[in-house]
Amino acid sequence: MSTSAQTPSAPDAPGAPAAAAPAGPTKIAVIAFQVAVAKTNEGQRSFAELQKKYQPKQVQLKALSDEVDNLTKQLQTQGDKLSDAERAARAKTIDDKKKQLQRDAEDAQNDMSNDMNELYNTLAQKVYDVLNDYAKQHGYTLVLDFSQQQSPVLFAAEANNITQAIIDAYNIKSGVPAPTPAANAPASPGLGTAPRTAPKPQQ
C-alpha cells in the first residue's frame, strides 16, 4: 500500500527580501550643495578672510615674477654687450629666481588648498546638518546634489531646487550677518583647487 507523504511548505529562501510595506509617495529635492556652502553668510565671510590672509603672499609672488621678467628682458637686450662670464652669471641668477618662484608658488598653493579644504569641510558638515533637518521637516525622501561632476540629475523643476532655502535656513541658524559689499568677495570653494566632497548622507 502506497502512502503519500504531505510535502511541508518550503521555508523562505535565505536572503529573500521580506514583504515590503507599502511605500509612501516619493518626494525628491535637488541642491547645488557646494554653492549653498559657499553662499551662506558664514561661507562668504570665511572665504573672503582666507583670501585676505594669502593676499600678502600673492603680492610677494607677483613682485618676484616681475623681477624675473625684468631680468630676462635686460639679458635679452644687453646680452651681446656682456662678457660670457657676466652673461652666464645673469642667466644663473634668472634660473635660480625662477626655481624659487616655482617653489614659493607651489608652497603657497598647497597651503591655501589645505586651508580651503579644512574650511569647506567644516562648514559643509554644518550645512549638511541643516539640510538633513530641513529634508525631514518637509518630507523629502531623497535629496540629490547636482553640483557634483557625476550628478545623475538631467532635469529638475525649479520648485524642487532647495539650494536657496538651505542657504536661508543656515543663515538663520548661524546668526552670521550678510557681509558688506566691500567684504563680499567671490566666495568659491574651488579657488584653484579640486571641488570638495559633500558630507556623506547619514544612514
Domain boundaries, the chain: 28-174
Buried b (16+ CB within 10 A) or exposed e, 42-77: bbbbbbbebbeebeebeeebeebeeebeebeeebee
* Stronger pLDDT, 24 or 119, i.e. the higher one: 119
Residue range 94-145, pLDDT digits in tens: 999 999 999 999 999 999 999 999 999 999 999 999 999 999 999 999 999 9
| pTM across the whole model | 0.69
User: What pLDDT score was predicted for residue 24?
Assistant: 60
168 pLDDT band, cuts 50/70/90, is very high
pLDDT at residue 18 greater than cutoff 80: no
User: What pLDDT score was predicted for residue 152?
Assistant: 83
* Stronger pLDDT, 21 or 164, i.e. the higher one: 164
- Strand (E) or helix (H) holding 111: helix 84-137
CB 28 within 8 A of CB 160: yes
pLDDT at residue 30 greater than cutoff 90: yes
The residue with cell 621678467 is 69
- Across the range 143-156, mean pLDDT stands at 85
- Mean confidence (pLDDT) of the chain: 82
Q: Give the three cell numbers for residue 122.
A: 567644516
CB 149 within 8 A of CB 196: no
